[in-house]
Chains A and B, each alone.
Chain A
Amino acid sequence: MAPLLPSSQPWVEKYRPKKVKDVAHQDEVVRVVTNTLETADLPHLLFYGPPGTGKTTTALAIAHQLFGPELYKSRVLELNASDDRGINVVRTKIKDFAAVAVGSKPHQGGYPCPPYKIIILDEADSMTEDAQNALRRTMETYSKVTRFFFICNYISRIIEPLASRCAKFRFKPLSEEVMSGRILHICNEEGLNLDSEALSTLGSISQGDLRRAITYLQSAARLFGSSISSNDLISVSGVIPQDVVESLFTACKSGDFDVANKEVTRIIAEGYPVSQLICQLLEVIVNAEDIQDEQKARICKKLGEADKCLVDGADEYLQLMDVASHTMRALCNMQQELCFS
């Protein structure tokens, strides 16, 4: 690929740690991996955890530290969800790559260069079950010359036989201190001005996802220049302003269907994403003190159902209307079901 223009590179890539020891906040993982790096003896690895916690970064860093830039191309195969990974690919591409034996030329150019290759399967939870099954035997047969790294968000989507063949590492969401440390580092490098309020806002809206935090930061920096306030960050992140959520909640409390209908129509016309709204509404309802537990439970159940429907692709207006009407009935102690007797 042509050399990148320095400015056109996303900060997420620019500040991706190059070495395993630079990965933030995952102490256990880093400790174990550094040990194995010294001995160059590596099991199959399975990294799982929420997005933006450093899984791909760690995997790439291990590969780079083992082989160095020269051997990297021939020793590492990187596959992710944007490549086709049906059962055919497992049977041909992966197997062919895994079967090739490599000579050991230890310590070339300061890198350990152990006598095996690495296959990185990013976003492995989007692989079909058949494809995963086809991998089982391949992994064992070629274990002398090939190591597999699996990276996924949900370990439950990896079939048990594969998971049991790997050393598992859980990546935990980043705490706010660690995150603000990284963010401040980037701010220094880029010459940005971030006050403490904006920093804590960034921590709370990104919910432990460092990639998201950096993306927000970069977007805000592009739009608003070098000094960024917390409002700027909120407007970039697509979080719904709290007063919109509050006004919907008040409309539900009023007990008048038409008021709620009007409010919902307005929200849809403003273009706020409903799935986000449901999350924030949940927060408001759980934290509200003047609602009884039973009412809360009823509302939460409906919120869950609506979220599922939205994932299935149902219409936003109708689902939000349904949520609003249920919330209203729960709050005003109206009958949940209509009965004529």
Chain B
Amino acid sequence: MLWVDKYRPKTLEKITVHEDIARNLKKLVSEQDCPHLLFYGPSGSGKKTLILALIRQMFGAGAEKVKLENKMWKIDAGSRTLELELKMLSSTHHVEMNPSDAGFQDRYVVQEIIKEMAKNRPIDTKGKKGFKVLVLNEVDKLSREAQHSLRRTMEKYSASCRLILCCNSSSKVTEAVRSRCLNVRVNAPTEEEIVKVLEFIGKKENLTLPAGFAARIAAQSNRNLRRAVLFFETCRVQQYPFAANQAVPPLDWEQYVSEIAGDIMKEQSPKRLFSVRGKLYELLVNCIPPEIILKKLLSELLRKLDSELKHEVCHWAAHYEHKMRLGSKPIFHLEAFVAKFMSIYKEFLIASFG
């Protein structure tokens, strides 16, 4: 078992990083009654951990017995019948799914599947919790229509079904949905908090940490707790006992992007652009999301640039990322950004050095 899973806190009491949120959630649940919830925050900040712990708090250990099923849905959409296949994780008390997997048909998922699930109200012999919990991931990736469908569904079936929505950026969730939920902001843990978690894991695993080692991992993790724990485990596999100055290996794709940045800085020519294209394709083929490539590339370039160019480069990065979102082929826009950068940089070089 990976450490990330092994040391994921299972109950709200054991959560250490977002204690205040956990305390509030506990209070919510203790009143037998819980509004719809929207968790938002950067990745690796602990949204999922909080949600799982919350569900456990609501329903007890029974909620941990989950099964993964691939369910086929037949949806009657007027003239034709659609067939959708969706993965979902379910226990007797909750269902977890990722509606944006259905692509452009996500509207039907939200309209039909959620309705159907919400209608089937669980009967409890003790007559207490008469509702099911539905966890929807990545709601920010849902299409606008799907989000619109969500709003009325949430009100209509609020008696038998509670929704827990989870997303990275709440800007992409429509106001109508946001105003119907209790919004919970989950901030990324600070570096000190990450260090504490790493030291805790180190103690449990009986490892001796050299001074400053945990701090270095935390610094490199970008305030992403999951990544920090993974780094920590990688280091453990590479070499133990830890050397005081042991290097924390960077992610290979990050290294690759910084190579690309170096290439671009060295030479600005069509030939170099062509070779960069190959490298970008390589990254895309390995399923690195294009906007993450662009952001990393930008931050690498910003590190090497003069301050007067930074504004301009930053502007174009934002411009091309927006274009990329509207278009369908990310490679064009990545390449366009590289070409734009080359032209700006070359002009700057000519102007300043002749």
Q: Is A32 an interface residue (CB 8 A)?
A: no
Count residues of A near B (Cβ-Cβ below 8 Å): 67
The reply to whether B171 and A318 form a contact with Cβ atoms under 8 Å apart is: no
Identify A328's interface contact among B41, B311, B326, CB under 8 A: B311
Contact code string B168-204 (vs A, CB < 8 Å = 1, else 0): 0111100110111011011110000000000000000
The reply to whether A269 and B187 form a contact with Cβ atoms under 8 Å apart is: yes
Residues from chain A with Cβ under 8 Å of B310 in the complex: 257, 325
Q: Is A288 an interface residue (CB 8 A)?
A: no
The reply to whether B186 and A215 form a contact with Cβ atoms under 8 Å apart is: no
Specify the chain B residue showing the minimal Cβ separation from A10: B158
Q: Which of B28-58 contact A (CB under 8 A)?
A: 28, 31-33, 35, 40-42, 45
Q: Is A326 an interface residue (CB 8 A)?
A: yes
Q: Give complex CA distance A338, B309 in Å.
A: 8
The reply to whether B24 and A257 form a contact with Cβ atoms under 8 Å apart is: no
Classify the interface of chain B: helix, strand, loop or mixed.
helix
Contact code string A305-341 (vs B, CB < 8 Å = 1, else 0): 0100110111111110110011011000010001011
Residues from chain B with Cβ under 8 Å of A272 in the complex: 185
The reply to whether B325 and A271 form a contact with Cβ atoms under 8 Å apart is: no
The reply to whether A123 and B347 form a contact with Cβ atoms under 8 Å apart is: no
Q: Give complex CA distance A318, B320 in Å.
A: 10
The reply to whether B78 and A89 form a contact with Cβ atoms under 8 Å apart is: yes
Contact code string A38-60 (vs B, CB < 8 Å = 1, else 0): 00000000000001100000000
Count residues of B near A (Cβ-Cβ below 8 Å): 73
**How many Å from the CB of B341 to the closest CB on chain A?**
12
The reply to whether A10 and B35 form a contact with Cβ atoms under 8 Å apart is: yes
Q: Give complex CA distance A276, B110 in Å.
A: 26
Binds A, one of B66-74, B144-152, B275-283: B144-152
The reply to whether A238 and B186 form a contact with Cβ atoms under 8 Å apart is: no
The reply to whether B325 and A313 form a contact with Cβ atoms under 8 Å apart is: yes
The reply to whether B185 and A338 form a contact with Cβ atoms under 8 Å apart is: no
Identify B315's interface contact among A209, A222, A325, A341, CB under 8 A: A325
Identify B153's interface contact among A82, A209, A325, CB under 8 A: A82
**How many Å from the CB of A91 to the closest CB on chain B?**
9
Residues from chain A with Cβ under 8 Å of B183 in the complex: 236-238
Contact code string B318-347 (vs A, CB < 8 Å = 1, else 0): 110110011000000000000000001001
Q: Is A178 an interface residue (CB 8 A)?
A: no
Q: Which of B9-31 contact A (CB under 8 A)?
A: 24, 27-28, 31
The reply to whether A1 and B347 form a contact with Cβ atoms under 8 Å apart is: no
Contact code string A1-25 (vs B, CB < 8 Å = 1, else 0): 1101101111001000000000000
Identify A309's interface contact among B160, B180, B322, CB under 8 A: B322
Q: Is A263 an interface residue (CB 8 A)?
A: no
26 A-B contacts (beta carbon < 8 Å): A2-B159, A2-B160, A8-B159, A81-B152, A82-B149, A82-B151, A82-B152, A82-B156, A83-B152, A84-B111, A215-B179, A222-B31, A222-B35, A238-B178, A257-B310, A269-B42, A269-B223, A271-B188, A309-B318, A310-B171, A310-B172, A314-B322, A321-B317, A325-B310, A329-B311, A340-B350
Nearest 3 pairs of A and B residues by beta carbon: A340-B351, A82-B152, A322-B318
Interface residues of A (CB under 8 A from B): 1-2, 4-5, 7-10, 13, 51-52, 80-84, 86, 88-89, 122-123, 126, 209, 211-212, 215, 218-219, 222-223, 236-238, 256-258, 261, 268-276, 306, 309-310, 312-319, 321-322, 325-326, 328-329, 334, 338, 340-341
